[in-house]
């Protein structure tokens, strides 16, 4: 997917896809997004090395994290955001399971127009 600012947003679609996304493909200053306290896809915002990605791109990634989760129909949700360097896969952990340290929680109010724009921006796999 592509954010309103043109940054790529990657979404894991399975436990195996989540593992590949967070442990192999995400790099440097990329940000990791996951629904707080519930199952869902791993989402990575490719920051292109920026220390502070545009706020609208962060909200775009949050919107996708909620959409590809068990709370996809919720009007509001909390999304955990953390630099990818703070995401670790414990040795021997099942697929899709990671531990995160630090970061922040974004209290997202869902925006149907934002989601519609994002879903139309899908970049072919």
pLDDT tens digits, 96-105: 888 888 999 9
Residues lower than pLDDT 50 in the chain: none
The Cα–Cα gap between 9 and 47 comes to: 9
Residue spans per domain, the chain: 9-120
- pLDDT at 3 (0 to 100): 98
Q: Rounded to two decimals, what is the model's pTM?
A: 0.93
* Region label for 7, one of left (φ > 0), alpha (ψ between -120 and 50) or beta (otherwise): beta
pLDDT for 125: 62
């Amino acid at each position: 997917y592509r954010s309103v600012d043109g940054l790529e947003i990657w979404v894991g679609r399975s436990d195996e896809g989540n593992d590949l996304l967070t442990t192999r493909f995400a790099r440097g200053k990329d940000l990791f997004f996951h629904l707080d306290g519930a199952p869902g896809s791993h989402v990575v915002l490719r920051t292109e090395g920026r220390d502070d990605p545009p706020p609208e791109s962060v909200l775009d990634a949050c919107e996708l994290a909620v959409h590809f989760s068990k709370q996809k129909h919720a009007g509001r949700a909390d999304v955990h955001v953390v630099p990818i360097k703070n995401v670790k896969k414990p040795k021997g952990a099942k697929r899709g399971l990671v531990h995160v340290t630090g970061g922040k929680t974004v209290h997202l109010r869902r925006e149907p127009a934002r989601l519609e724009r994002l879903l139309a921006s899908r970049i072919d796999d």
